[in-house]
Structure 1
Amino acid sequence: MLRQEKRQRNKTVSFERNQTLSSNVPRAVHMVYCYCKTALENGRKLAFLLDHEVFADDYEVNLHFEDISPLYHLEPISGNCIVVYIWHLYKKMVKENKIEKFRFVNPHSIPNLQKNIHDKTGKTEWLNKRASSLADKLSGAAMDQVVLVPSCCGFHWTLTVIEPYKEIVYLVDSLSHRIRDEDWIYVVEMALRLFNSTKGRKGRKRVQWEVIKAPKQPDAKKCGYYVMRFMRQITEEVTTLEGDSLRSIFTKTGYSMEEIDEVRTELAECIQNHIYE
């Protein structure tokens, strides 16, 4: 995933040269963009040291201008921005006393499959490494806690919602209403087997997968914004995953531009607060 983000940064540099400022963006996004265009010149960065409780780890995420520019121009968003948005949701849940209900997994802790692995043994080892990382994150979940896992396959972001003690997995994908990534199925199911082993649990014979018919993105660029919106909607509207509660909140065929701008604004305001605190 880090290699992908470096490639994205290189693309952004050339893309940026041909762009002009637009008035059709949220005010907070515009202000952050203008500030960072100067403040983050020559590879400078904004460093966010997240509370240990966010990912059960001391984690620092660094935003460069190459992360900010796509946010402004509504281009594919980086994993770093998604991590900062999780930081925003976490702080919001602390204020609303919802922190016991949800747990986030850092997408950078479960990197995507390396494209240079061609042999079956090497691929299996890499998938098992990813599964072990995910299992480690699941192990800290409380009995009734829901785990939200944003993940990137290639250049596409999806959200996986896991109830580890029930071994139920929900896939929320803005491109498809079916499970397309067999490698990810393997990673999640292996992680749950490792989780059960760690807890001394027998577990069920088969993991239960549910595909949620979530809003679909209108183009190839907005998957990251949709994942942010998915996480926002779940943490705001879901109190329990009993029955069809998760399905019931996703009733739209797509998000409006105003709804996408809402999460862009929240992310930008989180960055602003960090700049001026």
Structure 2
Amino acid sequence: MRADQEPFSKYNWISSQCWEEFVRQKSTQEFQKLSENNREMCKRNDNPHRLGSRGYDVKKRVWKKKLKENSADLAPILDIKDQRCQFYVLGRMRTTPDGTLEAPPKTQALIQTIKDTQQKVDSGDLEVSGSSDVLTLSLGNPEPTGRTRGLGAHVTRKQGLNILRAPRKTGFNQADMKVFAEEIQRQCYAKVREEMKEQMFEQLRDMRAELLAELKMQQAAPDQNSPGLRRSSHHSNAVATNPLDSIQVISPCYLTCKIGEEHIKMANARVWPRKTDELIHCVPLLEDHMKVQVDSAVHEMYLKFPLPTKINKDFVKIEDTLGSFIQWPKDSIVLDEYIDQDDSMPESVSNEVAEFMHRKMLISKKSLANVGPEFRAIHERVMREPPDKNEFLLKIKEGDLQPQSLINLAFDDLKDLAKQDKLDVSIISIWVIFLKRHVTDLGREADVGFLNPSMISQLLFDTDKVAASSYLLDSFKNMQEKKFILAPYIQGYDCNGHWLLLIFVLRDNMVYVIDSLPPKELDYDIMWHFKDIFESYVEAGGVHKEGSKECEWKYIKSPKQEGGKVCGFYVMKHMQDLVTTQFDVFPDCDLPTKKYTSTQLHAITKQWCKFFLDNY
């Protein structure tokens, strides 16, 4: 249009009518003004990216290969330590006709600025923390919200920069910082937990006392299920009587409601002696009911509980009846004289009771019946927790999962375990602890090592490469004499991640990969970082294959999963097999080729749950 040419010869699918409409729209005064504003905005961008419409995701794979090969055209950035800085610079380099990358003058100036900033950080003259990292300080403007420069639009600022991480101080060990933060978190959780338990335990003791009172009053009668009935002691065939029938004065009592198979104390009240033809709020007193006055609810959560008998539209829930007279079923009233004073805690609270306490069950009742007694026991523990609690905070024994001392096990992670959904790192971490202890029991502790999955994830390498690399290098040094090292690794972030198993055999310079959904070519994010780590390991005198500083990566054929959710279960199954049935023949072991059955995966869940119940 600006060249005063028509497109019909080159683009024959464009009609003359469409072209005329296009020219008309682009010739308006409003569009010309907008176009001019956009040109001015573009001029302000001194260093525009050259990523194209597909962004960093596609380019990063190409760049990683070039960096791994130490390509000559990348020489200006090879000594930049920070991966995000490298990607940001590469995104602004242009491709020459011969296919090499070239940095324009302004990009060259940025490279030098980054190197100068990194030098100041290394010397201690400049401190980085959170969003103020080397790249942000070099660019001189704050990080935008919703995305992370140098990593891509899909990576949030929190993921990309790990803003919540405490500032790193010179001389302060990263592992010590984590332990300190975990201890503060543990103390906060403990304080909140104790405050909530103090209230819950008082109510549970009352429930225990009431249930024991009911059992005593039933006197083993097969047809008596109500807490208010007792059997006469004069004769074994005597007719059951209710103590409420004989009261002559107003008596203190408590009102119960049946939830599942249990009568739960709901309110404190007073019961009136029954009179003939008595009316309550103009309604005749029902035959099997008593007149009561509700004084208070046992707990505020019971205020919303519906009344067992609804006679008056004004009285629907317990909170509507406070201080008023109402009718209450006789078999759900217990006099104070029959209350057992046993203050011991109940051994369990049913799922129905916990559900009433406003905690949603992790899975449906039908599913719960099929998962086995081990998970049901865990589920019952979850149901007994306060409604606003959503995780278990597990203390880890020293040496079980270095450098962690705590695991945050969310209740949603337990739900994923039961439903055979994608597993969180907390589930895999507990399985690592289980296998580590199992290996010790088998007497193979000297031959098999394990890595902490949370310390080698793609997310940690992208947000704190120094911490991840240091952990991997130190672990290799400490476990260099072992036959193999098992490392559950998650490629990707959060719910979009995929679990696979890496097996390091350091003495042979080999890394074996077991992946239930292998890509077309062997290309994982950790491979790019591993090269430098292994070179440092060799230079430090680590056991390796003489004459080489590089490792070979090799697939081991294994069962392929169906769908994209059970990869974590496959990794746990492979790890268990490797330390038991396949230990003596690895790496020449033949894994099964058929996919694992649901029964086999349920067996893994059962073992996980049993270990959890026995240890936490």
Matched letter for residue 266 of structure 1: Q
Q: Distance in 1 between matches of 2:523 and 2:474?
A: 22
Q: Distance in 2 between matches of 1:131 and 1:47?
A: 27
Q: Residue in 1 aligned with 2:476? A: 138
The answer to whether the 8 A contact 1:150-1:227 is kept is: yes
Q: Distance in 2 between matches of 1:187 and 1:40?
A: 43
- State which drifts further: 213-222 or 40-49: 40-49
Q: Distance in 2 between matches of 1:65 and 1:179?
A: 36
Which deviations, in whole Å up to 9, do the C-alpha atoms of 1:250-276 show, x marking residues without a partner? 12321111111111111111111124x
The answer to whether the 8 A contact 2:362-2:379 is kept is: no
Distance 1:41 1:99, change over 3 A: farther
Using the TM superposition, give the Cα deviation of residue 87 of structure 1 relative to its aligned residue in structure 2, in angstroms: 1.1
Q: Residue in 2 aligned with 1:83? A: 429
Q: Distance in 2 between matches of 1:200 and 1:91?
A: 26
Matched letter for residue 176 of structure 1: P
Which deviations, in whole Å up to 9, do the C-alpha atoms of 1:207-232 show, x marking residues without a partner? 11110111111111101111111110
Distance 1:179 1:88, change over 3 A: farther
Q: Residue in 1 aligned with 2:594? A: 253
- State which drifts further: 29-38 or 176-185: 176-185
Distance 1:138 1:237, change over 3 A: same
Distance 1:34 1:165, change over 3 A: same
Q: Residue in 1 aligned with 2:174? A: none
Which deviations, in whole Å up to 9, do the C-alpha atoms of 1:190-218 show, x marking residues without a partner? 22112112226775153111101111111
Q: Residue in 1 aligned with 2:505? A: 163
Using the TM superposition, give the Cα deviation of residue 35 of structure 1 relative to its aligned residue in structure 2, in angstroms: 2.1
Which deviations, in whole Å up to 9, do the C-alpha atoms of 1:24-55 show, x marking residues without a partner? 32331232123223326423543333333334
Tell which structure's C-alpha radius of gyration is larger.
2
Matched letter for residue 512 of structure 2: Y
Q: Distance in 2 between matches of 1:50 and 1:80?
A: 12
Using the TM superposition, give the Cα deviation of residue 249 of structure 1 relative to its aligned residue in structure 2, in angstroms: 3.7
Q: Residue in 2 aligned with 1:184? A: 526
Which deviations, in whole Å up to 9, do the C-alpha atoms of 1:124-174 show, x marking residues without a partner? x95565333312221110423311111111210111000123211001101
User: Per chain length, whose mean CA-contact separation is higher, i.e. which structure has more relative contact order (CA < 8 Å, sep 6+)?
Assistant: 1
Distance 1:100 1:235, change over 3 A: same
Q: Distance in 1 between matches of 2:609 and 2:385?
A: 15
| 1:211 and 2:549 aligned | no
SS at match of 1:252: coil
Distance 1:88 1:200, change over 3 A: closer
Using the TM superposition, give the Cα deviation of residue 56 of structure 1 relative to its aligned residue in structure 2, in angstroms: 4.6
Q: 2:514 aligns with which of 158, 167, 172?
A: 172
Matched letter for residue 144 of structure 1: K
Q: Distance in 1 between matches of 2:476 and 2:512?
A: 15
Q: 1:93 aligns with which of 418, 434, 439?
A: 439
SS at match of 1:215: coil
Distance 1:240 1:140, change over 3 A: farther
Q: Distance in 1 between matches of 2:478 and 2:507?
A: 11
Q: Aligned residue pairs: how many?
A: 251
The answer to whether the 8 A contact 1:167-1:192 is kept is: no
SS at match of 1:54: coil
The answer to whether the 8 A contact 1:88-1:266 is kept is: no
The answer to whether the 8 A contact 1:150-1:158 is kept is: yes
The answer to whether the 8 A contact 1:177-1:214 is kept is: no
Q: 1:66 aligns with which of 409, 412, 423?
A: 412
TM value normalised by structure 2? 0.38
Distance 1:213 1:190, change over 3 A: same
SS at match of 1:51: coil
Q: Residue in 2 aligned with 1:119? A: none
Q: Residue in 2 aligned with 1:54? A: 400
Structure 1's unaligned 5+ residue stretches are 4-15, 115-121
Q: Residue in 2 aligned with 1:102? A: 448
TM value normalised by structure 1? 0.79
Using the TM superposition, give the Cα deviation of residue 247 of structure 1 relative to its aligned residue in structure 2, in angstroms: 4.8
SS at match of 1:32: helix
Q: Distance in 1 between matches of 2:539 and 2:508?
A: 14
SS at match of 2:508: coil
Using the TM superposition, give the Cα deviation of residue 182 of structure 1 relative to its aligned residue in structure 2, in angstroms: 3.8
Q: Residue in 1 aligned with 2:613? A: 272
Structure 2's unaligned 5+ residue stretches are 1-157, 160-359
Q: Distance in 1 between matches of 2:573 and 2:563?
A: 16
The answer to whether the 8 A contact 1:41-1:65 is kept is: no
SS at match of 1:246: coil
The answer to whether the 8 A contact 1:150-1:160 is kept is: yes
The answer to whether the 8 A contact 2:472-2:533 is kept is: yes
Pairwise CA RMSD = 2.8
Identity %: 19
| 1:199 and 2:541 aligned | yes
Q: Distance in 1 between matches of 2:542 and 2:472?
A: 17
The answer to whether the 8 A contact 1:104-1:147 is kept is: yes
Q: Distance in 2 between matches of 1:182 and 1:58?
A: 25
Distance 1:181 1:199, change over 3 A: same
Matched letter for residue 34 of structure 1: E
Q: Distance in 2 between matches of 1:260 and 1:211?
A: 23
SS at match of 1:148: strand
Q: Residue in 2 aligned with 1:234? A: 578
SS at match of 1:62: strand
SS at match of 2:418: helix
SS at match of 1:99: coil
The answer to whether the 8 A contact 2:458-2:526 is kept is: no
Distance 1:165 1:136, change over 3 A: same
Distance 1:176 1:34, change over 3 A: same
Matched letter for residue 136 of structure 1: D
Distance 1:38 1:249, change over 3 A: farther
Distance 1:223 1:200, change over 3 A: closer
SS at match of 2:501: strand
